[in-house]
A = this chain, B = another copy of it.
């Protein structure tokens, strides 16, 4: 998606260790016009009329998930990272390793909000090692719902998450795939 690639090229910053900061428009300050454009591109890529829910993960997937929910006209469910007392029993759970926080966290979704009659599109802002998305797929499987696919805004193509998911046959679309990023600049995968 050219619009997103141009935005990353113009406003993204590369930090040591291959960290790519896009926090001016995607995951700290959020540009709602860009979210809407990404959501419309997701609708084009996932035209299935029978999608019943968008599933994402707190916190940085929520803004894009909400924009997609509006465009797809379905509810958005966001998996929580377990820690709150307000969440009782009746949960789907998946343990993932968070590279951001360098520890294992448990993603949880209340069973009330996903079930065997659902067809789910998973949405996230970023794909690197793919742990969060692996956890969300596991939750969809636990619920008995069908998985329509996974839509990601920015994939770090030089990290293994995207390759793993594609090898498993997941219908994954990433709107901008970064092949390399260093102080000299950012290169995107051409066949994107």
**A interface residues, Cβ below 8 angstroms from B:** 15, 19, 21, 23-25, 28-33, 35-36, 53, 58-59, 62-63, 65-67, 69-70, 73-78, 80, 83-86, 88, 100-102, 109-110, 112-113
> Shortest Cβ distance from A20 into chain B, in angstroms?
10
**Cβ-neighbour of A30 out of B29, B36, B78 (below 8 A):** B78
Q: Contact at B35–A78, with CB atoms within 8 Å?
A: no
Q: How many copies does the complex hold?
A: 2
- 9 A-B pairs within 8 Å (CB atoms) are namely A21-B86, A24-B113, A25-B75, A29-B112, A33-B73, A35-B66, A62-B62, A83-B101, A85-B100
Residues of chain B within 8 A (CB-CB) of A110 are 23, 28-29
Of A19, A78, A86, most buried by chain B (CB within 10 Å of CB) is A86
A31-B63 contact, Cβ under 8 Å, with A58-B58, A84-B100: no
Q: A15-B88, A29-B110, A30-B66 are in contact. List 9 more A-B contacts (CB 8 A).
A: A15-B86, A30-B77, A31-B75, A32-B70, A33-B73, A58-B62, A63-B65, A85-B101, A85-B102
Q: Contact at B77–A29, with CB atoms within 8 Å?
A: yes
Q: Contact at B100–A66, with CB atoms within 8 Å?
A: no
Q: In the complex the two chains form, what is the Cα distance from A30 to B53 in whole Å? A: 10
